[in-house]
C-alpha cells in the first residue's frame, strides 16, 4: 500500500538526450496509472527512474513519506514486469519466483508457501520446475507476473508487458492484470504505447509527449475533454478527424467547405477542427458531403472511410474522413452521402500552440 509522488522530475542522459522534462504527479494508494505516448516520448525512462534503474537528474521521487532518489532498486520494495519478461534463464520457474525472496532473507517455508500461492493465482503451478525456455510466450508472461506479485511489493511497475503477445492473449492478459491489481490493491504504474490498453486499464491516464505530461486524468475525461491537439489525436480509436480551418468572424471554413455554428473564435489564425467518428451522422439535410471509399464491418458497428468534399486536412490535402455507424446503416462504396455533426462535441484547437479553444 503506497502513495507515489514525483516532483519536478527531469532526466538527461549522458549523451545529452533530455528524456523527461519537469514531471509532477501524485499517485494515490491503490491507483492504476498508465503512461501512454508515442515511442521515444520518455515513458520508459520515467518508469525506470521509479524502479531505480535510471538515476534522477533533477527532482524528487517519494514512495509514501520516503524520498527514494538514492535508495537502491532492491530496497524500494517495487516489482517490475519487463517487455521481454527478463526471466532468469538458468533458473526454474520456482527459482525465478523465489530469487528475490531468498535474497531478502525470507525463510524457506515462507518462500515455498508464497510461491505456491502466487503460482495458483496465475495458473502456473504445473510449470514450477520448468526452465523458462520450455515455456510459451504467454506462460513466460505469467511467470514474470508471478515473480512480481510474489514479493508483495508496494508498487507494481509494468513496461509494455503485453507487447510481445498475440492479439487474443493480449486482451485476455489485460483483463487478468486489471483484476489482479483490483484484488491486490497495489499501486501500479503501467507503460504502453497502445491507447486501447491505456484506456481500458487506467484509473488515471498520463499522456506523455516529448518528455512532458500533456494531460493527466480519467480516460473518459481525456477522451471527451482533451486539452491539446496531441491528446485528442492520440486518444480514441479510430482517430479523431482533423481538418484545418480558418474563422472569418462569422463562419468557420476548411478549404471551400463552410461550417457554421461557431462563435468567439480567433480571426486570422490557423485552426484545427476535430470531429470524432461517432459524432458525425447521416442526415439528408446535412451540409457535409462525403464520397465513400471503404466500409469496414466490425460487427456491432461499421466504420466508413472516404473524402469530405471541399475540406482540407492539416497538410492542405483533401480530407480523409472516418465515420462510425450502427451495423444496420451500410452505405455502399462510391456513394455520396451527406452528414451533419454533433455541434456540442466538436473540438477546435489552435494550430500553432496545439491548445484547445472550444
Partner 1 sequence: MKRVQFSHSPIPYLFIAPQIIIICIFFLWPAAQAIYQSFLLEDAFGLSSQFVWFKNYKDTILTDAWLQSAGFTLVFSFLVTFLSLALAMLLAVKANEVIQGARTYKTMLMWAYAIAPPVAGLMGNLMFNPLIGDLYYFLNAMGWDFNHKLDSFDAGFVVVLIAVWKQVSVNFIFFLSGLQGIPKSVLEAATIDCKSNLRRFWTMTFPLLAPTTFFLVVINITYAFFETFGIIDTTTGGAPGGSTSTLVYKVFTDGFRGNDLGGSSAQSVVLMVMVLALTVIQFRFIERKVHY
Ligand X SMILES: Nc1ncnc2c1ncn2[C@@H]1O[C@H](COP(=O)(O)OP(=O)(O)O)[C@@H](O)[C@H]1O
**Considering only residues 12, 25, 51, 358, which one is a binding residue for partner 1 as defined by CB under 8 A?**
51
79 contacts which partner out of Mg ion, ligand X, partner 1, none, CB within 5 to 8 A by kind?
partner 1
- Cell numbers representing residue 63 in the block: 514512495
Using the rule CB under 8 A, is 74 a contact of partner 1?
yes
- Residues lying near Mg ion in the complex (CB under 5 A) are found at 44
Output the residue with the shortest Cβ distance to Mg ion. Answer: 44
Beta carbon of residue 38, minimum distance to ligand X (angstroms, whole number): 7
Using the rule CB under 8 A, is 106 a contact of partner 1?
no
Nearer to ligand X, 40 or 137 (CB): 40
CA atoms within 13 A of residue 252's CA, in its CB half-sphere: 24
- Collapsing DSSP to helix, strand or coil, 150 comes out as coil
- CA–CA separation, 121 and 304 (whole Å): 43
Long-range contacts of residues 214-219, Cβ cutoff 8 Å, at least 24 apart: 214/37, 216/25
CA atoms within 13 A of residue 229's CA, in its CB half-sphere: 18
Task: Detail the DSSP E strand segments found in the chain.
Answer: 4-12, 18-27, 32-36, 58-63, 66-67, 78-81, 155-159, 187-192, 204-209, 212-217, 241-247, 252-254, 257-259, 271-275, 280-282, 288-297, 301-312, 318-326, 336-341, 347-350
175 contacts which partner out of ligand X, Mg ion, partner 1, none, CB within 5 to 8 A by kind?
none
Contacts of 159 (CB under 8 A, 6+ apart): 44, 47, 48, 80, 81, 82, 83, 191
Output the residue with the shortest Cβ distance to ligand X. Answer: 44
Beta carbon of residue 121, minimum distance to partner 1 (angstroms, whole number): 19
Nearer to ligand X, 15 or 332 (CB): 15
- Cell numbers representing residue 92 in the block: 526454474
Q: Which stretch binds partner 1 (CB under 8 A): 21-29, 72-80, 295-303, 315-323?
A: 72-80
Using the rule CB under 8 A, is 16 a contact of partner 1?
no
Angstrom distances, CA of residue 248 to CA of 266, 310, 346: 8, 17, 18
161 contacts which partner out of Mg ion, partner 1, ligand X, none, CB within 5 to 8 A by kind?
none
41 contacts which partner out of ligand X, Mg ion, partner 1, none, CB within 5 to 8 A by kind?
ligand X
Nearer to ligand X, 37 or 153 (CB): 37
Using the rule CB under 8 A, is 115 a contact of partner 1?
no
- Residues lying near ligand X in the complex (CB under 6 A) are found at 13, 15, 17, 19, 37, 39-45
42 contacts which partner out of Mg ion, partner 1, ligand X, none, CB within 5 to 8 A by kind?
ligand X
Residues near partner 1 (CB under 8 A), total: 28
Beta carbon of residue 105, minimum distance to partner 1 (angstroms, whole number): 10
Beta carbon of residue 63, minimum distance to partner 1 (angstroms, whole number): 14
The answer to whether residues 227 and 248 touch, using CB atoms and an 8 Å cutoff, is no
Nearer to partner 1, 82 or 305 (CB): 82
- CA–CA separation, 200 and 210 (whole Å): 23
Q: Taking the CA atoms of the chain, what radius of gyration do you get in angstroms?
A: 24
Beta carbon of residue 71, minimum distance to ligand X (angstroms, whole number): 21
Please report, as residue ranges, which positions from 284 to 343 form the binding site for partner 1 (by CB under 8 A).
none
The enclosing H or E element of 65 equals none
Among 104, 86, 190, CA closest to 152? 104
Contact residues for partner 1, defined by CB under 8 A: 14, 51-53, 72-76, 78-80, 82-84, 86-90, 99-100, 103-104, 131, 133, 147, 151
Amino acid at each position: 500500500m503506497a502513495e507515489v509522488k514525483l516532483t519536478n522530475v527531469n532526466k538527461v542522459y549522458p549523451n545529452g538526450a533530455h528524456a523527461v522534462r519537469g514531471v509532477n504527479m501524485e499517485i494515490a494508494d491503490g491507483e492504476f496509472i498508465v503512461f501512454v505516448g508515442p515511442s521515444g516520448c520518455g515513458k520508459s525512462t520515467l518508469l525506470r527512474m521509479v524502479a531505480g534503474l535510471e538515476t534522477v537528474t533533477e527532482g524528487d521521487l517519494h514512495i509514501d513519506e520516503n524520498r527514494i532518489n538514492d535508495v537502491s532498486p532492491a530496497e524500494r520494495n517495487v516489482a517490475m514486469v519487463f517487455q521481454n519478461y527478463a526471466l532468469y534463464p538458468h533458473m526454474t520457474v520456482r527459482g525465478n519466483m523465489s530469487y528475490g525472496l531468498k535474497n531478502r532473507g525470507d525463510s524457506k517455508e515462507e518462500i515455498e508457501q508464497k510461491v505456491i500461492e502466487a503460482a495458483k493465482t496465475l495458473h502456473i503451478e504445473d510449470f514450477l520446475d520448468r526452465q523458462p525456455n520450455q515455456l510459451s510466450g504467454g506462460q513466460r508472461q505469467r511467470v514474470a507476473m508471478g515473480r512480481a506479485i510474489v514479493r508483495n511489493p508496494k508498487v507494481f511497475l509494468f513496461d509494455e508487458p503485453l507487447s510481445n503477445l498475440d492479439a487474443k492473449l493480449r486482451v485476455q492478459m489485460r483483463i487478468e492484470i486489471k483484476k489482479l491489481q483490483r484484488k491486490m490493491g497495489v499501486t501500479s504504474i503501467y507503460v504502453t504505447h497502445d491507447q486501447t490498453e491505456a484506456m481500458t486499464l487506467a484509473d488515471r491516464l498520463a499522456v506523455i509527449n516529448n518528455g512532458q505530461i500533456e494531460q493527466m486524468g480519467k480516460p473518459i475525461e481525456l477522451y471527451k475533454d482533451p486539452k491539446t491537439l496531441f491528446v485528442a489525436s492520440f486518444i480514441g480509436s479510430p482517430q479523431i478527424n482533423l481538418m484545418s480551418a480558418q474563422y472569418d468572424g462569422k463562419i468557420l471554413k476548411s478549404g471551400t467547405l463552410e461550417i457554421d455554428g461557431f462563435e468567439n473564435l480567433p480571426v486570422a489564425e490557423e485552426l484545427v477542427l476535430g470531429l470524432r467518428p461517432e459524432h458525425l451522422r447521416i442526415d439528408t439535410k446535412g451540409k457535409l458531403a462525403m464520397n465513400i471509399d471503404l466500409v469496414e464491418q466490425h460487427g456491432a458497428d461499421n466504420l466508413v472511410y472516404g473524402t469530405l468534399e471541399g475540406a482540407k486536412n492539416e497538410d492542405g490535402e483533401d480530407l480523409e474522413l472516418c465515420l462510425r455507424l450502427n451495423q444496420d446503416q451500410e452505405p455502399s462504396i462510391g456513394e455520396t452521402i451527406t452528414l451533419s455533426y454533433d455541434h456540442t462535441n466538436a473540438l477546435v484547437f489552435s494550430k500553432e500552440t496545439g491548445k484547445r479553444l472550444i
